[in-house]
Amino acid sequence: MASWQWFHRLGSPRWFYEKTGAWLPWLNAVALILLVVGTSWALAFSPEDAKQGNSYRIIHIHVPAAFLALAGYYVMAISGAVGLIWRMKLAFMVMKSAAPIGAALTFVSLVTGAIWGKPTWGTWWVWDARITSMLILLFLYLGIMALQSALQIRETADKACAILALVGTVNIPIIYKSVDWWYTLHQPATLKLTSAPSIHASMLYPLLTMIVAFYVFYAAVLIAYTRYEILRREARTGWVRDLVASRTGEAR
């Protein structure tokens, strides 16, 4: 019973807003430190690759962005499912907030992949299975954002976007397994849970640092977006009016 009470309390927009206010400064600080350390480590101390030279260093942006593009889609889809099943307003707010962040990360992944592909493959773009499925992921994110904006009734928009997000999850395992299922120029995964990493420790550790940095950064941005969405949707509630009034009074 206690666990269900905690679950429903977490679904309260007011509870989430009040609790997460104290988290953001810490998340921002940790993300900034990790990004600075990871970037400096990758650019200044990590050795040059024997085959790819210095062009491989872009993986420190490309790989974390790709990881978060996939993981962020699951965050969005699961939030939509929670909203559909338990009718939690906060879940739909998280779903909506996750879409533009995921779209931005997917775009960064595609652009950095193209920059890496030019010196490695001799071309900016190929209709490779991995790249094409990532492009589909970008369209899914953009489609959810467009659908959210097109439908005027909020409840209808939330449900429609949640259904689209859930349907789109079929693309995630396709992205992950594309290099194994089809002939592809894209190299196999460098990091796997089932086997040792195929990258030297001197390159692995800064990459892992950047991955953790991106995850912390993602959490901070998602919380910030969700807090904004809470204020926007709950603008007519008493607690938001009191909050705005208190801040206006402080500003004076």
Residue 127 placed within a domain: yes
In a domain, 158, yes or no: yes
- Give the number of C-alpha atoms closer than 13 A to the C-alpha of residue 77, restricted to the C-beta side: 18
Instruction: Specify if 53 maps to a domain.
Output: no
In a domain, 70, yes or no: yes
Report the first-to-last Cα separation within the chain, whole angstroms: 45
Q: What is the pLDDT of residue 38?
A: 97
What pLDDT shows up at residue 54?
83
The reply to whether 101 falls in a domain is yes
DSSP character at residue 200:
-
Local structure of 49: helix, strand or coil: strand
Provide the residue range defining the domain that includes 90: 61-235
Domains identified in the chain, total number = 1
Is 53 in a helix, a strand, or coil? strand
Give residue-wise pLDDT tens across range 194-203: 556 668 788 8
What is the dihedral sign for C-alpha 69, 70, 73, 78?
negative
Indicate if the pLDDT at residue 135 is higher than 90. Answer: yes
Least confident of 46-50, 73-77, 112-116: 46-50
Q: How far apart are CA 213 and CA 104, in angstroms?
A: 16
Which has the closest alpha carbon to 203: 4, 46, 15, 82?
Answer: 46
State the residue for tokens 């490309």: 62
Say if residue 173's pLDDT is above 70: yes
Position 11 scores a pLDDT of: 77
Q: Give the residue, 192 or 74, on which the prediction is more confident.
A: 74
Within a domain: residue 26? no
pLDDT at 167: 97
The pLDDT confidence band at residue 192, using thresholds 50, 70 and 90, is low
State residue 123's pLDDT score: 86
What is the per-residue pLDDT across 178-187, written as a single tens digit (0 to 9) for each? Answer: 877 766 666 6
Alpha helices, DSSP H only, in the chain?
Answer: 2-10, 13-20, 23-40, 59-86, 89-121, 129-150, 154-168, 171-181, 201-233, 238-251
From residue 136, alpha-carbon distances to 107, 146, 169, 209 in Å are: 11, 15, 11, 28
pLDDT higher than 90, residue 102: yes
Which positions ≥6 away from 86 have C-beta within 8 Å? 11
User: Using the 8-state DSSP alphabet, how is residue 42 labeled?
Assistant: I
pLDDT score for 202: 84
Q: Provide the pLDDT for residue 187.
A: 66
At 48 the pLDDT is 87
Mean pLDDT over the full length of the chain: 90
Provide the pLDDT for residue 128.
86
Q: Is residue 4 part of a domain?
A: no
Residue 220 pLDDT exceeds 60: yes
Confirm whether 85 is domain-assigned.
yes
pLDDT tens, residue by residue, 234-244: 999 999 999 98
Least confident of 20-24, 25-29, 194-198: 194-198
154-170 pLDDT, tens digit per residue, is 999 999 999 999 999 99
pLDDT at 191 over 80: no
Selection from 202, 151, 218 nearest residue 41 by Cα: 202
Average pLDDT over residues 51-65: 89
Q: Judge whether residue 26 has pLDDT over 70.
A: yes
